[in-house]
Amino acid sequence: MAQRHVLFTFSHDPYGSIWYTEGLRAVVGVTSGIDEHSVDVVYLGDGVNFLRKNVDRTDSNKYLGTLSKLGYGLKAEKESLDAKGLRASDLADGVEIVPRSGVLELIQKADLTIDF
């Protein structure tokens, strides 16, 4: 398989399920291997709760560190943040805020999407 561009969307709250951290493990997996696919990672709806500044990321830090070394960051949909009253100052360092139209652009750009 040739290199693909994969969009990962995260819509589940952190904790109470393993979606938030297993999804990040999957992102790392997709960027690894012989094809080294490229990725975007965007948080929607309740998923943005993972991006709050003081969330305990003990079980996700190794994945986030790997993605950071590869040059990949995390994106949040602005409308989802607005719905929860969250501002940039409430979020962890390095989170990029994109408008809904920007998320649609990420969907258009992706060869495939995977949701967690």
For another protein (CB under 8 A), the number of binding residues is: 19
Q: Does 9 bind another protein (CB under 8 A)?
A: yes
**Please, what is the angle between helix 19-31 and helix 61-69, to 10°?**
30
Q: Does 12 bind another protein (CB under 8 A)?
A: yes
Of residues 62 and 102, the one with the C-beta less far from another protein: 102
User: In degrees, to the nearest 5, what angle opens at C-alpha 54 toward C-alphas 76 and 14?
Assistant: 60
Show the DSSP H helices in 40-114 as ranges: 61-69, 78-83, 100-109
> 3-state DSSP call for residue 96?
strand
Span 55-114, contacts to another protein by CB under 8 A = 77, 79-80, 100-101, 103-104, 107-108, 112-114
Query: What's the rounded Cα separation, in Å, for the pair 41 and 23?
Result: 10
Task: For the CB of residue 7, give the shortest distance to another protein in the complex, in Å.
Answer: 9
Residues that bind another protein (CB under 8 A): 9, 11-12, 44-45, 47, 77, 79-80, 100-101, 103-104, 107-108, 112-115
